Structure 1
Amino acid sequence: MATAALEKTGIGEAEWEARQQLAACYRIFDMLGWSEMIYNHITLKVPGERNAFLINPFGLHFSEVTASNLVKIDIDGNKLDDSSYPVNLAGFTQHAVFHRHLSDAHCIMHTHTTAGMAVSSVAGGLRPTNFYACNFVGQIAYHDFEGVTVRSEEGERMIEHLGDKRAMFLRNHGILVMGRTLPEAFIKHWSLQRACEIQVATASMGTPLEVPDEVVAVHQRDLSKVAIPGGVGKADYDAMVRLVDRIDTSWRT
């Protein structure tokens, strides 16, 4: 958006860049089959504004989200723009508590994917039976299902159960991840989703082989050796944005 247009809307350049990054992410999730009707949420803090974040308009499918129709709210749920769209209370309640209390939770993603919900609904949760699952050994928190997340007091228990982790299975519910950047949260969600998909597939084939702890430790130690410069998840995320652009560029508006 041109500078003059940004000034007219009251949106600064940093916020507009964040809006485009988040809108692209919603389209990527839809392209990957991770949308859930008009539900589920990805939120992103507004740069330079401690208590403001962007969330999807309640009522729109992920494929309809654009940079301009994202809703800007504060951590108390007040709208900070003139959006005509409501905000899903479940999305606000769940995400605001982490944005409020965790300075490094710049981006938060919650989904109800089939594989994610399946793994969150079995005793033992995620097991170290595949490459991607080994990435998360010792890094996953669990929070018991208490019904739809609309009561603020549940947030206190979610923070307690999360502890120092930044990925959580909401039992019987789905995946919750967060990152210091949107690309970091994206690659974390992608990897966790792949781990779940493979675990579900493996479970139908017989007794899974679990990777020994000492091998998991070596695996996690060596993961940094296959990282490329630019920040965690950036190259992966940029590649997905290019794919989305080949389908539809309307998210940019």
Structure 2
Amino acid sequence: MTTQLVIPSKKDHVSPEEWQLRVDLAAVYRLIALYGWDDLIFTHVSARIPGDEHHFLINPYGMMFDEITASSLVRVDQDANKIDPDDFDINPAGFTIHSAIHAVREDAACVLHTHTTAGVAVSAQQEGLLPLSQQSLFPLSNLAYHEYEGVALREDEKSRLQADLGTNNFMILRNHGLLTTGSSIADAFLGMYVLQTACEIQLQAMSGARPLTHVPDGIVDTIKQQAEQVTKGMGGKLAWPGLLRKLDRIDPSFRD
């Protein structure tokens, strides 16, 4: 017999702005599970709560991504202290990566990290992401790499993560996985969707045992402007309402 987790609602205990962030962040966790990008309980998405406190929301350690709700998300400070002591604990490796980025990137409202098979496979390839598809061009115009240092638990790795990411919104963590940031939760999710798809295409293309055609270098330089045209300047927000409707049709409990 399985036990259903019962999480008390936080809706009436947080500001309307924080509640909306919680709903959107819970939606990302459900979408990651829906698209098969989860790794049991071992990856993370965080969202910064606006304000001088530099608090952010992250997943409770031990919950599957298709269980996560707005109320189950954990609010923490920059020292990994839970603001609500009754919340679940968090993954220390997740805290190291996400707190490092939130500490120096005020524009990174959301940080999304995955361990997908395709993402880890491309991260292990010496040349990394290649310009083999239209999808690859968006990350390539804004892409950083971080060398593998073991499970991300050491405080001293934070400065190297920060330096490697710089002002980029896409990062490939060597032998580890993928990471995106965005000025909104929707933007970080769309970035991961495109990066993940580019990795899948690259592996499929390379498995065909035929010569590959790379996109000409000059086209990469124009891709940011073209992306603005495609999304009408809305970025991830253009697709976000449709994604929420999809989740509501499947299981709206992420809103609880």
Normalised by the shorter chain, which TM-score bucket?
Answer: over 0.9
Match of 1:207 in 2: 211
1:189 is aligned, of 188, 192, 206, to 192
Identity %: 40
CA contact (8 A) 1:71 1:83 kept: no
Write the distance in 1 (CA, Å) between the matches of 2:75 and 2:232: 33
Match of 1:76 in 2: 79
Residues 240 and 217 from structure 1, CA distance in 2 versus in 1: closer, same or farther, beyond 3 angstroms? same
Give the drift of 1:219.
Answer: 4.0
Write the distance in 2 (CA, Å) between the matches of 1:8 and 1:224: 35
Match of 1:227 in 2: 231
**Aligned-partner residue type, residue 228 of structure 1:** K
Write the distance in 2 (CA, Å) between the matches of 1:189 and 1:50: 27
Give the drift of 1:236.
Answer: 1.2
Give per-residue Cα distances to partners, 1:228-249, cap 9 Å, x unaligned.
36x3111212211111111111
**Aligned-partner residue type, residue 212 of structure 2:** P
Match of 1:25 in 2: 28
Give the drift of 1:139.
Answer: 1.5
1:249 is aligned, of 238, 249, 252, to 252
Write the distance in 2 (CA, Å) between the matches of 1:220 and 1:13: 33
- SS of the residue 2:14 aligns to: coil
Residues 90 and 133 from structure 1, CA distance in 2 versus in 1: closer, same or farther, beyond 3 angstroms? same
Give the drift of 1:39.
Answer: 1.1
Q: What are the residue-to-residue correspondences of 1:115-154 with 2, within 5 Å?
A: 115-154=118-157
Give per-residue Cα distances to partners, 1:92-133, cap 9 Å, x unaligned.
011001111111111000000111111101011000010111
1:39 is aligned, of 42, 45, 64, to 42
Residues 224 and 214 from structure 1, CA distance in 2 versus in 1: closer, same or farther, beyond 3 angstroms? same
Structure 2: state its 5+ residue gaps.
Answer: 1-7
Residues 249 and 91 from structure 1, CA distance in 2 versus in 1: closer, same or farther, beyond 3 angstroms? same
Decide which moves more: 105-114 or 42-51. Answer: 42-51
CA contact (8 A) 2:11 2:71 kept: no
CA contact (8 A) 1:69 1:83 kept: no
Give the drift of 1:184.
Answer: 0.8
Write the distance in 1 (CA, Å) between the matches of 2:65 and 2:31: 9
Write the distance in 2 (CA, Å) between the matches of 1:58 and 1:7: 18
Residues 100 and 241 from structure 1, CA distance in 2 versus in 1: closer, same or farther, beyond 3 angstroms? same
Decide which moves more: 83-92 or 216-225. Answer: 216-225
RMSD: 1.8
Structure 1: state its 5+ residue gaps.
Answer: none
- SS of the residue 2:179 aligns to: strand
CA contact (8 A) 2:146 2:164 kept: yes
- SS of the residue 1:250 aligns to: helix
Give the drift of 1:225.
Answer: 1.9
Match of 1:110 in 2: 113
Give the drift of 1:224.
Answer: 2.1
